[in-house]
C-alpha cells in the first residue's frame, strides 16, 4: 500500500472510531431513560401495593418515596435533544417533548413538586395523607404521559 493511502486508511479508521459512539448515543440515551422509568414505575408500584394492604408499611413507602424524588431529579437528564424517534431508536418519547419544551418542563416540575409532597406525607406516616398525595402523584404521571408519551403497548 502506498504511504499516503495508508495514512488515509488510518484517518478513515479513526474517523469511524470517533463517530461510532456518536451514532450509538441515542440508543443508549433511550435505554437509560426507559430503565429510569422502569425503576420509577417499580417505586410507585411499591407505594400503591403497600397502601392496598391492611397495614401499610410506612418504612417501605418512605424508601420508595425517596427513590421517586431521586428519579424526579434525574429526569431532567433523560431527554437529550436527538433522542426521539428521529434517532431511529425504539422510543415512545413524542416530538412535542422538544417542540413544546416549556410545557414539558412544566410537566416535569409538577411531578417533581408532587414527589416531594409524597415524601413529606410518607415522613408523617399518616396513611390518609400518603394515599392522597399518591393519588395526586399518579395524576402527574398520567398528565405527562397523555401529552408526551406515544400510546401503545
Question: What does the binding site for ligand HEC look like in residue numbers (CB under 6 A)?
Answer: 30, 33-34, 37-38, 40-41, 44, 91-93, 107-108, 111, 137, 140-141, 144-145, 148-149
CA–CA separation, 2 and 12 (whole Å): 15
**Least gap, CB of 137 to ligand HEC (angstroms):** 5
Nearest to 48 by CA among 124, 107, 118: 118
**Least gap, CB of 133 to ligand HEC (angstroms):** 11
Nearest to 109 by CA among 77, 75, 65, 82: 75
Give whichever of 8 and 142 is closer to ligand HEC, judged by the CB atom.
142
From residue 42, alpha-carbon distances to 1, 23, 101, 129, 153 in Å are 58, 30, 27, 21, 17
Give whichever of 107 and 122 is closer to ligand HEC, judged by the CB atom.
107
Give whichever of 7 and 142 is closer to ligand HEC, judged by the CB atom.
142
Cβ proximity of 44 and 64 under 8 Å: yes
**Least gap, CB of 13 to ligand HEC (angstroms):** 33
Cβ proximity of 86 and 30 under 8 Å: no
Give whichever of 40 and 121 is closer to ligand HEC, judged by the CB atom.
40
**Least gap, CB of 103 to ligand HEC (angstroms):** 10
Amino acid at each position: 500500500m502506498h504511504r499516503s493511502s495508508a495514512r488515509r486508511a488510518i484517518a478513515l479508521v479513526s474517523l469511524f472510531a470517533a463517530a461510532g459512539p456518536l451514532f450509538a448515543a441515542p440508543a443508549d440515551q433511550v435505554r437509560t431513560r426507559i430503565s429510569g422509568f422502569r425503576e420509577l414505575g417499580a417505586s410507585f408500584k411499591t407505594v400503591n401495593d403497600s397502601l392496598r394492604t391492611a397495614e401499610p408499611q410506612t418504612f417501605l413507602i418512605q424508601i420508595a418515596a425517596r427513590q421517586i424524588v431521586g428519579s424526579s431529579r434525574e429526569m431532567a437528564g433523560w431527554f437529550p435533544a436527538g433522542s426521539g424517534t428521529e434517532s431511529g431508536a425504539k422510543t415512545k418519547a413524542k416530538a412535542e417533548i422538544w417542540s413544546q419544551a416549556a410545557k414539558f418542563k412544566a410537566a416535569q416540575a409538577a411531578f417533581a413538586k408532587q414527589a416531594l409532597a409524597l415524601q413529606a406525607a410518607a415522613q408523617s406516616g399518616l396513611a390518609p395523607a400518603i394515599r392522597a398525595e399518591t393519588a395526586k402523584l399518579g395524576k402527574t404521571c398520567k398528565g405527562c404521559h397523555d401529552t408526551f408519551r406515544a400510546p401503545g403497548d
